[in-house]
Amino acid sequence: MQRCRALRPTEDGKAIIAVPSLLWDGLDKHLTPNPPKFKRAVRAYEAAYNKAVRRRDDCQTEKAKYPRLYR
């Protein structure tokens, strides 16, 4: 089985993380009603993404190990 396509790095070797970028952009522009809640969401997403990228498992194995990270 192949690893999750979303977790593959780009040609530069860098992973694309769109959701945290959008959340941080919203925080910078003061578009969030509750900044601390958004900061926690960004950090939680980044931690889950980094954990998934570092693993060499496939999508199904990753979902089985950490069911709460994938909805």
pLDDT for 14-33, tens place per residue?
555 566 777 777 777 887 78
Which structural domain, as residue segments, surrounds residue 63?
Answer: 34-71
Nearest to 38 by CA among 51, 24, 49, 52: 24
Domain total in the chain: 1
Whether residue 60 lies inside any domain: the answer is: yes
CA–CA distance, 53 with 4 (Å, rounded to integer): 9
In a domain, 28, yes or no: no
pTM, 2 dp: 0.48
Q: Is residue 70 part of a domain?
A: yes
Q: How far apart are the first and last CA of the chain?
A: 21
Residue 23's pLDDT is what? Answer: 74
Return the structure tokens found at 25: 């952009």
Residues above pLDDT 90, as percent of the chain: 0
The predicted structure's pLDDT at residue 42: 80
Instruction: Extract the tokens encoding 44.
Output: 């939680």
